Amino acid sequence: MARYTSGVNRGEKVNVRLLDPRERRRLLVDTEDGLEPAMFWLGESGLPLSLSTWKDVFTDANRRCEEAGLALRAHAHLLRHTFAVITLEQLQRGHIAQLADMNQAQRLHYQRIFGDPMDWIRRRLGHASQLSTLIYLHALQELEMETRMALVPDAWEDPRDTPLMDLGHETPPQDLPMKASA
């Protein structure tokens, strides 16, 4: 059963199996990736699936993957982890794009308005502390380097542009402190 909000049955519970194809189509949303459910993981009652049903969903999916010869296993926590890492990456990329052309004061203002991506993820996952959320950062090391590079001024020389035979033969800057001889 599901809540159906069209036609005569507006707001009444209706068994989804009794809907005709046109009515079932209303339970889907047309996205750029194709049709997707309009509601996330609702059972036939129109309510969220129970914990035991969730476990059965993953057990069945893992069994089907194994039968198909796929070395693939999933569980709810894996989906949660995937959501956190992908969302954090996308939020960070958006922040990097905006922050790269800003000075320190502008960056601080931007973060005050749009918040901290890590804190956004923390709240969505229901973590009390950002320390719990930090476990998702191990997958974002590449993004960290991109962040650092985005904040480096373009005027800096790229050491990869220096021929190998010239490395080590540069004259040190005059204001560089010299080590005392032992």
User: CA-to-CA distance for 126 and 141, rounded, in angstroms?
Assistant: 24
User: CA-to-CA distance for 84 and 77, rounded, in angstroms?
Assistant: 10
pLDDT at res. 151: 72
Closest CA to 41 of 26, 30, 57: 57
| Type of residue numbered 40 | F
Split at pLDDT 50, 70, 90, the class of 2 is very low
pLDDT at res. 169: 65
Residue 94: phi and psi, rounded to 5, are -65, -45
Alpha helices in the chain (DSSP H): 21-25, 51-67, 76-99, 104-114, 117-125, 130-133, 141-150
Neighbours of 35 (CB within 10 A): 11
Q: What's the rounded mean pLDDT across residues 68-77?
A: 88
User: CA-to-CA distance for 56 and 41, rounded, in angstroms?
Assistant: 13
The two structure tokens encoding residue 58 = 């993953």
* Strand pairing report for 28-31 and 34-37: antiparallel
Window from 6-15, 16-25, 147-156 with minimum mean pLDDT? 6-15
Q: What's the rounded mean pLDDT across residues 76-105?
A: 83
* Whether the predicted pLDDT of 32 surpasses 80: yes
pLDDT at res. 176: 63
Q: What's the rounded mean pLDDT across residues 3-21?
A: 62
Could you give the percent of the chain with pLDDT greater than 90?
Answer: 5
